Structure 1
Amino acid sequence: MPNGQEFTKTMQDISTKGGAYDIYSTEWNRLGDLAETGGIAKLDDFVAQYKPEWDDPKTGYVDGAKGVSLLNKYRGSNYGVSLDGDFQTWVYRTDLFGDAAEQKAFKDKFGYDLAPPKTWKQHSDIAGFFQRPDKGLFGSTDLRNQGWGYTNWYQRYVSMASPNQFLFGDDGKPLINSEHGIAATNEYVGSLVHHSPDAISWGWPEQYGNFAKGGAAMTCAFSNLPKFLDNAGNKDSAVTGKIGSMLPPGREVDGKLISRSVLWFSLTGMVSSQSKNQEVAYLLLQWLGSARIYAWMSANPGGYLDPFRLSDFSDPLVRQTYHAYHIDVVRETVARTVPTINYPGATAFHNALDENLMASLTKAKTAEQAMADTEAEWKKIARRIGEDKLLEAIRTNKEAWPTVLDPIS
C-alpha cells in the first residue's frame, strides 16, 4: 500500500475486528498506541520459549538489552520485532570540506579549521559559510517539514543536558516549556537561514534529490543516503565518491560532548491479537529479524531496511553497500540515539509539537508561545490517556536512552 497508510490500515483492522492480517508492519513509535488498543499480541512468552539472539554480544542489537528495550518493548514487555534501522545519520560533502581554498577562507573567517562539526555552534558556522543559493548550494538541509522536521528539533533539544535533556520528568510533567525548549526552538527556526527557501515543504525525496545534485554541504537523513547516492550505478548522482559521514553535532555540558541522534519511522513487525497463528507469525518475524537473514535483506542494493544489529555492521555485504566509511559511523550513531515518543498518545503528542514548531517556523508564534502551547496540549493528552499509565511508560522508556558521553577534542 502507499507509504504512510500502514498505521491507518492497521487501526482499521483492529477497530473493525476484521482479522485480515496475522502480522502488522508499521512505524516503530506506534507500538505504545497499538499495544494499548489490545490489537497486537504481547510476545513475552514466545521470546522466553524461542530465545532470539537480540541481546547477543556479537550479533545482537547495539547496546544489548538497552537496544532491545528501545526497539521491541513497550512498558517492559515485547510487542514488536524490529525490521528496520531508521537512525538519523549526518553526512557531508568531502569535496567541499577538503578543498584547500575553502579551508583557507573558512579559517580566515572563523579562526579554526574546517572539519565536520562537533558542536551545534560549529554546525551553524559551517552551514552559514556554505550557504550560497545563487550557486545552487545550501549549507544544511536537515528537514524542517511537517511530519519529519521535528526529529531535527529533537536532536538539538535532547543534547542540552547530560546525559540527556528529557521530554518529560519522572512525575510526568512536560519539560519542553523551559529555557532548553525555547533555546532549541529558536535554534531550529534560526537555522532556516542556511536551508532552501522552500525548506518547510521539503520531505526526504526533495532532500535526497537535492543532495544527489550536489546542492547541500551537509544533511541529516536515513542511513541509506550514501548507499543510494554514493553509487557508481546511480548515473543521476553528482556526489558519488564525494560523501563522508559524521556523528551528530552536540553540546559541551559538564566537560563532555553530548552528541545525540534520533530514531524515526523504522518499520517494526507486530503480531495481530486476532491472528489464529500467533506462534507461527512470531517465528516468521524472529527469522526475518535474525542476524543472517536481516543482514542479507539490509545489504540488498535496492532495499531500504537499514542496519541496526551488530552483525549488520560487520557483515561484508552490508559494509559494501553502505560503505565502510559510513557503516561504522552509523553504528556509533545508534549508540547515541534517543527514542522519539513511543508511549500511548505518541501520535497526538507529536502532532501537537509538530504544529507548534511549524507555527514558529512560519513566524505565527514565538518560540516561547510555541513551547507553552505544546506543554498545554501535552497536559491535555496526558489526562485523556491516564496519567498513571503514562508515568509507567515514561519511566520504562528511559531505559532505552543513551548514556554515551564524548570527550571534548
Structure 2
Amino acid sequence: MKKYFLISLSILMFILPSVLAISTDLKQSYQPGETLIIEISGNILEPIYPDQVEFKTGKFGNIDVPLQYDIKRLGEKYFLYALLPDEEKNYTLHIKDILTTLNGQSQKIDFSQNFTASGEIAPYSINPGLIITNSEFTLKLISKLDIPQTIETSLEGYANLTLKPGENKISVFPSSLESGFNKIKFGMYFIPVYFSPSENNDTYFQENETNFREDALVLLPLEIRSTILYSEEIKFPIRLTNLKDLDIEDIRFIYDEELFLIDELPEIIPASEYVEFNLLLKNQNSNIDEVIVIMSGEEEIILPVIINFTQNESEVFTPYLQDFSSSSGYLCSELDGRFCSADETCTGEVVSSIDGNSCCIASCKKTELKKDYSWAGYLIGAIILIVLVIVIAKYLKTKKLGIHK
C-alpha cells in the first residue's frame, strides 16, 4: 500500500508543475451567445499568437469549432476573448506550444481546459472583448432581447447605458482611460483595455502587431448572406487575393465540416494573384448562422455565413452574387489598369479595385499646365483705371482754377 502511495505521489509531483505552470480564470459554464473573456496566468516566455489557440467540441473533443476570437498581451498579462454561438455545446480550449518554465527549465507545453455553454441565451454580447489602443475606439454590443435593456458601465458620465435590440455601437474616449492597463465595466462584462497615449509607444505596438499589421489577404465576399430553396443545390463562389509580393503557403480553413464542404481548397496563393473556390452546403434542414475562419500566419479573416431556407421562390436572393464579377473584386493590374500619379490624369474610365478606388482602365497622361494670361487683362484694367483717375483729377483741378478767376 505504501509502495503504491509513493508511486502515485511521484506521478502527481511530476504532473503538478505542468498543471500549475499555466492557468486561466475560465469558468466551467457560460451562456450561449456570451462573449468569453479570460486572463491567462503563468511565466510566459514568448508571445502567444492566435494560431496557437483552438476551440474543439464533439464526443471526443476532436471537432474544430470556428469561433471569432483573439489573444493579446496587455501590459504584463495575456487575455483571450471568443464569441460563443447561440447554442448549447461542450467545448475544450486548447493553447499549443506555450513556452514557460517547468522546474526552472524552459519548456513548451500544451494547455487544455473544458467548459460548457448552457442555459438561456446571453442577453447581449460585446465585440471585441479586449483592446490595445492609443486613441478613441468603438465597441459593438449586440442585444439579443426584443425590448430595450439598461446596463451599468464604469465610464465617466455613462453610469447607465440603454441597449436597443440589435447592434449598439459605443465610442470610448481617452478621457475615460488611465495610461496603462484598464478594465471597463459594461454590465456583465469587464473589458481589458491597454491604453498607451505616449507618442513613443512603437515598440509596444510592434510586439502586438496583429492589431496594426497590413493585411496580406483580401476576401470577397465579406459575408455570404443568402435565401435559397430547401431543395436547391447552390455553390457560393469565394475569391481570396494575395496583395503581397511573396507567395502565401500556410493557409488554413476552420469550419463546421458537418454543415459545409469547400471544394478545391487552395494550398498556395502566388504573389499578387488570387484563387477562387466554392462553398457548398451539406445540411439543408435548417437555417444556418455560422462563420468560416481563414488563417495565414498571424492573419485571420472571419467570413460570416447566413443562409435562410424558403419554399417561396420569389424570396430567393443572394446579394453578393449580383456584383461578384465586377471590377471591385480584382486587383487593378488584373484589370489591365494602372494608378495615375498626382500630376497625371486618366484618359479613359476610372473604376474601383481591391487595391484602390482610382484604377485607370486606359493610359495615364501628364497634366499640361495651361498658360494663364488673365494677369495681362488685370494689368491693362489697372492702367486704364489709373489714367482715368489722373484725367479726372486734372479736370477737377482746372475747373476749380477757372471758378476762382
TM-score after normalising by structure 2: 0.25
The structure in which a higher percent of residues are strand is: 2
Q: Which has the higher contact order (CA 8 A, sep 6+)?
A: 1
The structure in which a higher percent of residues are helix is: 1
Larger Rg: 2
TM-score after normalising by structure 1: 0.25
